[in-house]
Copies of this chain bind each other. A is one copy, B any other.
Amino acid sequence: MIERRSLAALFLALPVAAQAQGADPLPSWREGPRKRALLDFVAAVTREGSGFVPPAERIAVFDNDGTLWVEQPAYPQLVFILDRIRTLAPQNPAWQQDAVFRAAMAGDLRGAMAGGHEGLMRLAGAAMAGNTPEAFQQIAADWLRMARHPKWNRTYPALVYQPMLEVLRFLRASGFTNFIVSGGGVEFVRAFAEETYGIPPQHVVGSSFALKVTEDAGRLTLLREPRVDFIDDGPGKPIGIARHIGRRPIAAFGNSDSDFEMLRYTMEGSGQRFGMIIRHDDAEREFAYDRESHVGRLARALDAAPALGWQVVSMREDWARVFV
């Protein structure tokens, strides 16, 4: 028993050992101030000394859309909702009477969004509620295996950012616990986070529908109701963090104004802190957007970053490679 476990431990220790021998934990990051800042921060909190942070307090939080995977030309979950509305349409003829649903069924993103927040919530409820968390996660997982991004014809989980996977791995190997704190639906993100990012369901914080306890064939059953329970976005992110994690993170990674409060909450704690914003400025390899974008708008956080000591990553300059 000792021998087998020691071998496993040796294997787990290899990445750290390799670093100690000079291997680069962030090979897809070009040398420069952003990479240097991250390496310095991790060194400072892990080595004995005034900046040392015990492993239990090494909490890192990551936004998902636009920070860990692609969010243009539309949030993958929104594409999922429209696909799902189309799938369910034959059983819901009444939807034909509703302009927002008609647009959704036609795959007309702009038309589907014309109903504003209220219209989107109705679409989301119709597409995603009325099932158990387990059944929904299966539906989402099936879609994620099948659906293809219009630009690259690859599945969405294949369009995660290699440099960020390296950050997740590097932090984990350095004793951090990584959490996703996403505006997306918690069960949608859980459907792929473990396989894709190595982040288990209990470390995913997200938006949610209300759950109701019912009975089904003599078994206690949880039903997802078409009623929003919590929006984990903007100011909701620090609330989700306090509620779910119960400890202020020491590192936060985001890409848009909806991560502003999460970055503030993280950075305004005492001691060593690290905040990073991924700026999408690479039209060739990915997308270029910030202040004017409807998806992943980045203005306020960009303006605030220099004074607040947040690192702004240029995808074009700082990343040698974008996708896995």
Contacts and interface: CB of A to CB of B under 8 A. Distances in A.
Given A6-B9, A202-B247, A219-B268, 7 more contacts: A1-B21, A2-B14, A9-B10, A202-B244, A202-B246, A220-B268, A222-B242
A204 B246 contact: yes
23 contacts: A1-B16, A1-B21, A2-B13, A5-B17, A6-B6, A6-B9, A6-B13, A8-B9, A9-B10, A56-B200, A133-B246, A186-B246, A187-B246, A190-B246, A200-B247, A202-B245, A211-B239, A211-B243, A213-B235, A213-B238, A213-B261, A220-B238, A222-B238
Contact of A6 (B1, B10, B201, B265): B10
A321 interface: no
A134 interface: yes
A120 to B, nearest CB: 22
Copies in the complex: 2
A203 interface: yes
A222 B177 CA distance: 22
Nearest to A18: B1
Question: A-side binding surface: helix, strand, loop or mixed?
Answer: helix
A24 interface: no
Interface string A177-219: 1010000001100100010000011111000100101000001
A273 interface: no
Contact of A201 (B10, B220, B222, B245): B245
Contacts of A264: 219-220
A201 B244 CA distance: 8
A248 interface: yes
